Amino acid sequence: MEEFNGAAAEGKEDALLKEAPSRPLDAQGPYYGVRIEAANHMTKGGVSCNENAQVLYEDGSAVEGLYASGEVTWQSGGYSQSVCFGRVAGEQAALNVK
């Protein structure tokens, strides 16, 4: 932490960060950090589904036997929506095969 704060105070590049920190770390630690890189992996605009996770045609009617959730669907809730509709899709698909 002393090295990081020293780099922040002097405006010098931090060895791990590979750039000058914008501010020193505050308060007592211990703190652990990792470098995070942005990644575009969500489609955010795939197929549309109804409340039963059934894939819909453009006219709004359901495609029989086709269910979807997660990144292939038009979702806005991220992970939690994927989990919820993943369960719905699984349950509905299981009912469809009986």
The predicted-structure confidence for 45-59, as pLDDT tens digits, reads as follows 678 889 999 999 999
**Contact yes or no for 96/80 (Cβ under 8 A):** no
Res 5 pLDDT > 90 = no
Domain-embedded: residue 44: no
Question: Residue 87: inside a domain, yes or no?
Answer: yes
Q: Indicate whether this model's pTM tops 0.85.
A: no
- Residue 15: CB partners within 8 Å, gap ≥ 6? 3
Which residues form the domain of 23?
Answer: 1-37
Neighbours of 55 (CB within 10 A): 19
| 64 and 93 housed in the same domain | yes
